[in-house]
Amino acid sequence: MTKKKRVFSGIQPSGELHIGNYLGAVKNWVELQEQYECFFCIVDLHAVTQPYEPEEMPARVFDMALTLMAAGLDPEKCTIFVQSHVPQHAELAWLFNTVTPIGELERMTQYKDKASRQESVLAGLLNYPVLQAADILLYQAELVPVGEDQVQHVELTREIARKWNGRFGEYFPEPEALVGEVRRVMGLDGQAKMSKSLGNTIGLLESPDEIWAKLRPAVTDPARVRREDPGNPFVCNIFSLHRHFSSPADIAWSEHGCRTAGIGCIDCKRRLADNIIKELDPIRERAMELKRHPERVAETLERGAEHCREIASSTMQEALARMGLRGGGPKVKGR
Ligand code: AMP
Ligand code: TRP
């Protein structure tokens, strides 16, 4: 049997997921776990590069783990763990810092964006992508499923692998980004990408009533002012959500009804709400079950970290040895 390729991805512990994260990332992960050896990491060491409240962090991490499991990540099929439970992430990041040009880090779009909004820019924010490279390469992962915004970081990971290998011998693979089909889910305001900080989200665990309360007033085609006005579904975010959640028949119904003013926006939204609720129902059910059994989440994370520490320790042994550290010399290279 050929060895399964390794997949690695990470997500910030933001607490609850929204349908943008779900469609853009987590839904793909659920499919990938069937085919590959997958590692999914809750990146708390990355999260502390932004202002935060220490007392809130444990709940943010726990809720993210619970939501990922509810969304369909199965601890029997993949490894789910918390970054800070595996100390080698920070250790390898330090080694990679020594081969990473500052100029490359300063070019990163996400860094520039975040740094421009801060008065005093901390080193952790600049070095964020180095830690991300360590996350991926600690497991020698070859595939990295991420949103479009993370492709640049995966490119940098390849470069760090190349630079390190060039100096210390071929060891780390150059991973590839896997960008899913759903690149950008717009928020309910129809103005910007769905994002927790903009308050334009539908949470993955929201109840049918909450979902309807958010969808009902959501922005549609602004040119369709009255019920009798025909609309243009292709400028309407409700229609784009139909394309993510509805059957081909319902999508055709919405498109035709909108163009001919055969249906009103409220009819269209109600059908969408029903379809979203249908897809999210089993996720919410599983989440409620896990909330009754929090020990299942805790055990999953413990087992995950244990498995990861084993792999991580073997990678570190080799990497340190090749760098002439911890008393080791290069094992490979035919000596
Ligand atoms: P974030 O919550 O921004 O850290 O994102 C976590 C993951 O979800 C990343 O892979 C993002 O690319 C993806 N993601 C976040 N928001 C959206 C969105 N509105 N549409 C599609 N993907 C998203
Ligand atoms: N930076 C990623 C994000 O903001 C999260 C992340 C951390 C990650 N380490 C990773 C993603 C390793 C993929 C692989 O979404």
Q: Are strands 176-179 and 37-42 parallel, antiparallel or unpaired?
A: unpaired
Per-residue pLDDT band for 225 (boundaries 50, 70, 90) equals confident
Q: Specify the DSSP element, H or E, that contains 282.
A: helix 265-292
Per-residue pLDDT band for 295 (boundaries 50, 70, 90) equals very high
pLDDT at 329: 59
Per-residue pLDDT band for 332 (boundaries 50, 70, 90) equals low
Q: Which atom of ligand 2 is nearest to the CA of 132?
A: 9
Rounded to whole angstroms, how far apart are CA atoms 149 and 142? 19
Rounded to whole angstroms, how far apart are CA atoms 297 and 176? 30
pLDDT at 331: 57
pLDDT at 327: 77
- Domains detected in the chain: 6-184+294-322 (3.40.50.620), 205-289 (1.10.240.10)
- Contact in structure between 283 and 205 (CB atoms under 8 Å): yes
- Output 2 or 117, whichever has higher pLDDT: 117
pTM value is 0.92
DSSP assignment string, 139-188: TT--EEEE-GGGHHHHHHHHHHHHHHHHHH-S-S---EEEE-S---PBPT
Query: Could you give the angle at which helices 151-168 and 88-97 cross, rounded to 10 degrees?
Result: 70
Give me the amino acid identity at 240.
S
* pLDDT at residue 335 is higher than 60: no
Residue 291 appears among annotated catalytic residues: no
* pLDDT at residue 112 is higher than 90: yes
Rounded to whole angstroms, how far apart are CA atoms 167 and 209? 58
Per-residue pLDDT band for 15 (boundaries 50, 70, 90) equals confident
- The answer, yes or no, to whether any atom of ligand 2 lies below 6 A from the CB of 136, is yes
From 5, 163, 196, 214, active-site residue: 196
Give me the mean pLDDT over the 70-74 stretch: 97
pLDDT at 191: 86
- Contact in structure between 144 and 7 (CB atoms under 8 Å): yes
Residue 27 appears among annotated catalytic residues: no
pLDDT at 196: 85
Q: Mean pLDDT over all residues of the chain?
A: 94
Per-residue pLDDT band for 334 (boundaries 50, 70, 90) equals very low
pLDDT at 1: 60
Binding residues for ATP, as ranges, are 12-14, 20-21, 147-149, 185, 193-197
pLDDT digits (tens, 9 = 90+) for 166-200: 999 999 999 999 998 887 899 999 888 898 888 99
Give me the mean pLDDT over the 100-129 stretch: 95
From 17, 21, 144, 178, give the residue whose CB has the most ligand 1 atoms within 8 Å, as the site to mutate.
21
Tokens of 265: 């926006």
Ligand closest in space to the Cα of 43: 2
Per-residue pLDDT band for 34 (boundaries 50, 70, 90) equals very high
